[in-house]
Amino acid sequence: MISIGTLNASRPLQGDESLKEHGGVIAQGAGRIREFQERVYRFYRKNGRDLPWRRTTVPYEILVSEIMLQQTQVERVCGRYERFLVRFPDFPALAGAELRDVLHEWQGLGYNRRAKSLHATAGIVMGQYEGVLPDNEKVLASLPGIGKATAASIVAFAFNRPSVVIETNIRRVFIHCFFDDQETVSDRDIAPLVAATCDRENPRAWYYALMDLGSSLKTRIPNPNRRSTMYRRQARFEGSDRMIRGRILAFLVGEDRISVPDLVSRLESDPGRVESILKTLEKEGFMKNEKGFLTLR
């Protein structure tokens, strides 16, 4: 049984007036909000997903899940999240680890900048916040690899405090329910509705419910997110610079050092292209190039 608390549309919600500015989308105010909440929660009671990061409210564990879920499908994260936590169970363990070990555990998730940023954030939390993740949204947004969107999610899921969470599944729900006749929808259009309909007593469960409804909609209707100004087709991975970056880092994780000619030979890629990617990786702080030999920092 999924615990969702009580519905709270019977009392004023932040942003209630802004709803009336959206062409009468929720012109009935609190009553219409309650109807929407009930619809979403009704779906959640029957179809809520049991995901490992939903079984915890530990801020560190929520942070790890949110960074992993950036640009990565839930199914892929499920297979790696718990393993990562076994290896790095808390901020001291992650901050004290070598970047090589963190990247090794991250292999297969892609977008390795996230692993580096997570490692850096752990160091900042240990050094500046006595090992306690800040609960201030602006402070969270300033930490490496987090930003405004992930900070809002952390506030809701780790601290169960109201925030405006907009991610791909939530965006899909709002476009489908409230912008059916609008060809182009921006997050600026959606944000007031997200704020006004949030269950302020239990934002954690509310956003989980919205995400699960949005995930279900993806399999049942043409994707509403194609009408979002945020919509981008994912670039082909095979043969991309991103693929080459990942292979380079995999080589560096597995070996103490490797020469540039040896690396180019193993990659079987254009030397000029590899050199350009290596310069970017060095600039980002992943590796060092000392007299033609590459090592992780």
CATH number (domain holding residue 199): 1.10.1670
User: What dihedral angle (degrees, nearest 10) is formed by the CA atoms of 145, 147, 152, 153?
Assistant: -30
Rounded to whole angstroms, what are the CA distances from 67 to 109, 151, 181, 250, 272?
11, 10, 34, 20, 32
Is the domain of 40 the same as that of 93?
A: no
130 is catalytic: no
Instruction: Find tokens 């915890």 and name the residue.
Output: 56
User: Per-residue pLDDT for 73 more than 80?
Assistant: yes
Is the domain of 80 the same as that of 38?
A: no
| CB-CB neighbours of 49 under 10 Å | 14
pLDDT (tens digit per residue) in 105-159: 998 898 899 999 999 999 999 999 999 999 999 999 999 999 999 999 999 999 9
Average pLDDT, the chain: 87
User: Per-residue pLDDT for 34 more than 50?
Assistant: yes
Q: Which has the closest alpha carbon to 90: 134, 145, 133, 45?
A: 133
Four-residue CA torsion sign, 259, 237, 273, 270: positive
- Asked whether residue 233 is domain-assigned, the answer is no
- Asked whether residue 10 is domain-assigned, the answer is no
Q: Which has the closest alpha carbon to 247: 120, 112, 118, 145?
A: 112
Regarding predicted confidence, which is higher, 221 or 234?
221
- What pLDDT shows up at residue 137? 97
- Domain hosting residue 146, numbered range: 58-159
Is the domain of 109 the same as that of 30?
A: no
**Annotated catalytic residue, options 17, 21, 38, 66:** 66
pTM of the complete model:
0.84
Q: In the 3-class helix/strand/coil scheme, how is 258-281 assigned residue by residue?
A: EEHHHHHHHHCCCHHHHHHHHHHH
- What pLDDT shows up at residue 240? 86
Query: Rounded CA gap, 217 and 142, in Å?
Result: 33
- Between the two ends of the chain, the Cα-to-Cα distance in Å is 47
User: Per-residue pLDDT for 44 more than 50?
Assistant: yes
User: Per-residue pLDDT for 74 more than 50?
Assistant: yes
